[in-house]
Amino acid sequence: TGTMSATAAPRKRGKSASAAGAGANKRRRKADSAGDRGKSKGGGKMNEEISSDSETESLAPRRTEEEEEEQELEETAQEKKLRLAKLYLEQLRQQEEEKAEAHAFEEDQVAGRLKEDVLEQRGRLQKSVAKEIQAPAPADIRVLRGHQLSITCLVITPDDLAIFSAAKDCSIIKWSVESGRKLHVIPRAKKGADGQSPGHSSHVLCMAISSDGKYLASGDRSKLILIWEAQSCRHLYTFTGHRDAVSGLAFRRGTHQLYSTSHDRSVKVWNVAENSYVETLFGHQDAVAALDALSRECCVTAGGRDGTVRVWKIPEESQLVFYGHQGSIDCIHLINEEHMVSGADDGSVALWGLSKKRPLALQREAHGLRGEPGLEQPFWVSSVAALLNTDLVATGSHSSSVRLWQCGEGFRQLDLLCDIPLVGFINSLKFSSTGDFLVAGVGQEHRLGRWWRIKEARNSVCVIPLRRVPVAPAAGS
């Protein structure tokens, strides 16, 4: 530093008077412009902050400014402005880039969610999960024993914490998914008993739970629909009106509107929250075997031996009729708002689009053949389930296994994924809402009759875990 000051001093002394004057003018101009900037930025605020007491202190910063100027004499005012402007522009550019990246990331996420929502509303959402599913080891399947006779139907609560199962023994059991213990049992009602406890006195054939988990509905062979408070299993209402066994129930998602169907060939609409009947729709030519519904004000039914699947548009009081199976259509399930899967006793499983009257895909002999050579008959498909808005479908029969299937692009193909060994009649299948497990209602007999009896089968509720292994994306995707 000593040498620097020694060399700098003669240069300062050797400066011409005009140069020194110019430097002084430059400093004055700079100070003036700084003052102007202060006025334009802060106005009165700047003046308020500098009090009369601080006048002596404010001289110190000015001296340091002068020293800085002496060091930067070689850089002209124009060059400094240019350098600072470039620095400022660079900072702005970096900030804008960061903002743009964050915005693009948010837009991607929002756009993805919006696209999913739109596809879901249109009924075209088909998330690809089937390829990730791994077949569980038989030892991982949990068996819940409690019913004396064949399980006929079951539902899972929307929070995936409990399962309700019903059977030919007329009882309903609420199970804990986590522990596998019974949380509540609604026993069979004794016929003709004074002050009888609420319950079913005949086979329970179907159940449904509202999407908010508040109401449980159950239907039996005695033409009754019983409404329960799902949390406490307290009986609330009894709906009468069907003239034969109640075979199908479904709540419209997001509402307390209940659809029911029966062997009397009709579809009825109820409002559970108001304990009221709404209307009846007719059209099927034979006993209706099953029913399902989602968010739209419509439901779908499997018409049994009349060989049709029907879509009921409730507000318009109209129906669409679909043909495709050769046998009795015994089970049906919606995959999304525009597609459904059905199973029949001719052994076939069909995928349908609501805009086409014929199946988009038909898998014959979905569970293989049984019987002596030359007299083979296909195994009846007794239950179907679909994981909502995905490409994963499950089917049940009495072929000693539950089968998982993948729906192809546009639901135009059905490919077998794996067999899950399970002995007995698979009378009901339900996926958990997250797709983490599949629940099967197993019985020694078919839910609608006693055509066969499989003695080795156990009347039970089976919880089948579904582990997912992410598949590496294909090249170029």
Give the mean model confidence (pLDDT) for residues 260-288: 95
In this predicted structure, what is the pLDDT of residue 79? 85
Per-residue tokens: 400: 């000693």
Helix 59-71 to helix 17-42 angle, to the nearest 10 degrees?
130
CA–CA gap between residue 435 and residue 433 (Å, rounded): 6
Above 60 in pLDDT, residue 21? no
Kindly report the CATH number assigned to the domain that includes residue 223. Answer: 2.130.10.10
Per-residue tokens: 299: 């439901």
Task: Please indicate, yes or no, if residue 17 is contained in any of the structural domains.
Answer: no
DSSP for 89-149, please give it. HHHHHHHHHHHHHHHHHHHHHHHHHHHHHHHHHHT---B--GGGEEPPPGGG-EEEE--SS
Task: Please indicate, yes or no, if residue 254 is contained in any of the structural domains.
Answer: yes
Q: Is 399 helix (H, G, I), strand (E, B) or coil?
A: coil
Confidence of residue 410 (pLDDT cuts 50, 70, 90): confident
Per-residue tokens: 247: 């075979």
Per-residue tokens: 162: 């409990």
* Residues composing the chain: 477
Confidence of residue 7 (pLDDT cuts 50, 70, 90): very low
Above 70 in pLDDT, residue 28? no
Asked whether the beta carbons of 135 and 420 are under 8 A apart, the reply is yes
Phi, psi dihedral angles at 280 (to 5 degrees):
-125, 140
Task: Please indicate, yes or no, if residue 16 is contained in any of the structural domains.
Answer: no
Confidence of residue 81 (pLDDT cuts 50, 70, 90): confident
Measured from the Cβ of residue 235, the count of other Cβ atoms closer than 10 Å reads 15
Above 90 in pLDDT, residue 119? no
Task: Please indicate, yes or no, if residue 476 is contained in any of the structural domains.
Answer: no
Asked whether the beta carbons of 339 and 350 are under 8 A apart, the reply is no
Widest pairwise Cα distance in the chain: 125
Asked whether the beta carbons of 412 and 350 are under 8 A apart, the reply is no
In this predicted structure, what is the pLDDT of residue 211? 95
For the ranges 22-36, 111-125, 430-444, which has the lowest average pLDDT? 22-36
In this predicted structure, what is the pLDDT of residue 72? 55
Above 90 in pLDDT, residue 44? no
Task: Please indicate, yes or no, if residue 20 is contained in any of the structural domains.
Answer: no
What percent of the chain is modeled with pLDDT above 70?
Answer: 79
Range of the domain at 359: 133-191+198-468
H helices of 123-215, in order, are: none
Which of 243, 250, 294, 296 lies closest to 272 in space, CA to CA?
A: 250
Task: Please indicate, yes or no, if residue 26 is contained in any of the structural domains.
Answer: no
Confidence of residue 71 (pLDDT cuts 50, 70, 90): low
For the ranges 134-138, 196-200, 292-296, 380-384, which has the lowest average pLDDT? 196-200
DSSP strand E in 224-348: where? 225-229, 234-239, 246-251, 257-262, 266-271, 276-282, 290-293, 298-302, 308-313, 318-323, 329-334, 339-344
CA–CA gap between residue 468 and residue 181 (Å, rounded): 26
Above 70 in pLDDT, residue 413? yes
Give the mean model confidence (pLDDT) for residues 286-295: 95
CA–CA gap between residue 226 and residue 208 (Å, rounded): 11
Asked whether the beta carbons of 345 and 330 are under 8 A apart, the reply is yes
Model confidence pLDDT, tens digit, residues 162-196: 999 999 999 999 999 999 999 999 999 886 655 56
Task: Please indicate, yes or no, if residue 58 is contained in any of the structural domains.
Answer: no
Asked whether the beta carbons of 407 and 130 are under 8 A apart, the reply is yes
Q: Which residue has the higher pLDDT, 1 or 438?
A: 438
In this predicted structure, what is the pLDDT of residue 107? 73
Above 90 in pLDDT, residue 9? no
What percent of the chain is modeled with pLDDT above 90?
Answer: 62
DSSP for 27-70, please give it. HHHHHHHHHHHHHHHHTHHHHHHS-GGGTTTTHHHHHHHHHHHH
62-76 per-residue burial string, b: 16 or more CB within 10 A, e: under 16: eeeeeeeeeeeeeee
Give the mean model confidence (pLDDT) for residues 207-234: 95
Above 70 in pLDDT, residue 344? yes
Above 80 in pLDDT, residue 238? yes
Asked whether the beta carbons of 333 and 405 are under 8 A apart, the reply is no
How far does CA 60 lie from the centroid of its chain?
A: 68
Above 80 in pLDDT, residue 158? yes
Confidence of residue 263 (pLDDT cuts 50, 70, 90): very high
Q: What angle do CA 111, 113, 119 make, to 5 degrees?
A: 100
CA–CA gap between residue 423 and residue 457 (Å, rounded): 5
CA–CA gap between residue 268 and residue 287 (Å, rounded): 14
CA–CA gap between residue 55 and residue 51 (Å, rounded): 7
Give the mean model confidence (pLDDT) for residues 187-208: 82
Task: Please indicate, yes or no, if residue 104 is contained in any of the structural domains.
Answer: no
Above 70 in pLDDT, residue 67? no
Per-residue tokens: 365: 């002999």
**Average pLDDT over all residues of the chain:** 84
Q: What angle do CA 406, 410, 416 make, to 5 degrees?
A: 15
Give the mean model confidence (pLDDT) for residues 215-237: 95
* Domain total in the chain: 1
Asked whether the beta carbons of 163 and 437 are under 8 A apart, the reply is no
The DSSP output letter for 252 is P
In this predicted structure, what is the pLDDT of residue 166? 95
Q: What burial class does residue 363 get, using C-beta atoms within 10 Å of its C-beta: 0-12 exposed, 13-18 middle, 19+ buried?
A: buried
Asked whether the beta carbons of 407 and 385 are under 8 A apart, the reply is no
Select, from the ranges 27-36, 90-99, 112-121, the one with the highest average predicted confidence (pLDDT). 90-99
